[in-house]
Amino acid sequence: MKISTLCATGSLLVSTVASATGIVPVLDLDFTRPATETLKKLGINDACIITAPNPITFTYCREGLPTLWKYQALDLEQEAAILKGEKMPSTDYGRITVVEADSVACQIDKTPPSAKPATTRGVALGVIMLFLLIGLRFTFRAIKREQYAPADNAGSPPQRLSETLLIKALAALGVAAAVALIYCFW
């Protein structure tokens, strides 16, 4: 294969993997940062941007208020005046209007979480690590017992003991895997 074909295939593969894993958003243009900067220039520091499809038109909520506001840099009259070549004062270019007085998007969720996420995460990871260590300990003990067991006593009780240790190890590792699955998908 030619080197250019390899480079093109490699770059396509890397971009596909990056977009599939969410590392690089594809066609996900978010203008919240320019919108926030625009509002800060206007003296509005307590705003939460709701939608920002482009940097000159966006909606936002102010902290503690249920009103949904819309900032639009130019309205149709202003655009028509600019196209005609008429001069307009610079203060007329910024427009803030009310979109909805009692908006659901601006409602503050006042229900406290049932448990702190950091506490839940810590407990789940602690349980996972505990059962992993227990499973590894039983596995290690079973391997060591097999290593040092005499070869002539194949059906003796030490053989059954190592099987019991392996069953305990599999059970502990299974519990760790189950907790990890519940933690990841819940």
Same domain for 80 and 139, yes or no, is no
Same domain for 146 and 88, yes or no, is no
Task: Domain of residue 181: give its range.
Answer: 117-185
Q: For residue 72, give the nearest of 29, 107, 32, 38 by alpha carbon.
A: 38
Q: By the 8 A CB rule, do 46 and 38 touch?
A: no
Calculate the average pLDDT of the chain. Answer: 75
pLDDT at 128: 92
Average pLDDT over residues 14-24: 57
Same domain for 91 and 131, yes or no, is no
Helix, strand or coil for residue 97? strand
Query: 154 is written with which tokens?
Result: 């194949």
Residue 112's identity, in one-letter code, is P
Last residue of a domain, one of 55, 75, 100: 100
Same domain for 126 and 93, yes or no, is no
Q: Is residue 25 domain-resident? A: no
- 44-74: per-residue pLDDT in tens? 888 888 888 877 888 888 888 888 888 887 6
Q: Is residue 61 domain-resident? A: yes
Q: Is residue 140 domain-resident? A: yes
Total domains in the chain come to 2
Strand pairing of 57-62 and 68-72? Answer: antiparallel
Q: For residue 57, give the nearest of 103, 93, 20, 82 by alpha carbon.
A: 93
Higher pLDDT, 175 or 148: 175
Residue 109's identity, in one-letter code, is D
- 98-156: per-residue pLDDT in tens? 888 888 878 765 555 565 677 888 888 899 999 999 999 999 988 888 777 665 555 55
Q: Is residue 134 domain-resident? A: yes
Q: Is residue 160 domain-resident? A: yes
Same domain for 96 and 127, yes or no, is no
Strand pairing of 47-54 and 68-72? Answer: unpaired
Helix, strand or coil for residue 5? helix
